[in-house]
Amino acid sequence: MGVLIVDDEPLARARLARQLQSIDGCQLLGEAADGESALQQLDSLDPDLLLLDIEMPGENGLQLANQISNRPNPPAIIFCTAHDEFALPAFAVAASGYLLKPVNVEQLAQAIAQARRLSKPQLLERTAEPAQATGGRRQIKAVSRRGVQLLNIEDIRCFVAEDKYVIAHHSAGETLLDESLKELEAEFGQRFVRVHRNTIVAKMHITGLHKEGDGYRVTLTGCAHRPVVSRRLLASIKALLTEMA
């Protein structure tokens, strides 16, 4: 994945460049200190990913991202900024990630892993495709003190309600969401099925149903967590597996 860093602060660019060296599959193609220089390098370098600051002299990062998103086959964009108030405008221009400075290498690696799952043509198609046609959003946004993380719906194995929050179990681990299970089920009911009062699982990732003790659990691809199936819903889950076989 070829990367272009766009930031007016030399120290910030140097920090990101050092971190990229430790992330497999990433190659630093160039650096730019402003939007005009970034556009020139976009044409000559054709990067797959931009690490983009927001507040810069001249055209800011949001304006630059809006220009880039209208190009054929645009690169993915991860914003790296000191300001958390721009998160919503950033995702309005189809950002793949939003990290707060100082960015650490673990956060950067995770954001890049999310971005690289879609090719540039797929990213363009995703931004143009109506959400209603795919049974809800294509991604879920999770906001924490570490920044903003985007989770691809196809990577999520299950949603589990715990206390006032919901935990999304996905291919890269677990993420805490500030959304209700009821709302998620209403939005993604085409993709997920309820197996318990506190759990819905992705149909496409179900690999089996196994008896453990007095109950049953479903197994999911690439997920150590095995959700419990309630007795009330057991018959419907068995019927679903028979239908899928």
Cβ(115)–Cβ(78) under 8 Å?
A: yes
Residue 126 has a pLDDT of 45
Q: Which residues contact 22 (CB under 8 A, 6 or more apart)?
A: 105, 109
51 membership: H or E segment, kind and range: strand 49-52
227 to 195, 209, 233: CA distances (angstroms): 8, 10, 12
What are residue 33's phi and psi, to 5 degrees? -100, -5
3-state class of 221 per DSSP? coil
Residue 44 has a pLDDT of 84
Residue 144 has a pLDDT of 66
Give the residue ranges of the chain where pLDDT is below 50.
119-134
Q: What's the CATH superfamily of 2-128?
A: Response regulator (3.40.50.2300)
The reply to whether 2-128 and 153-244 are identical in fold is no
Domain 153-244 has CATH 2.40.50.1020: yes
As a whole number of angstroms, the distance between CA 30 and CA 25 comes to 16
180 to 137, 156, 198, 219: CA distances (angstroms): 15, 16, 10, 23
Spell out the domain ranges in the chain: 2-128, 153-244
Structure-token pair, residue 105: 């290498």
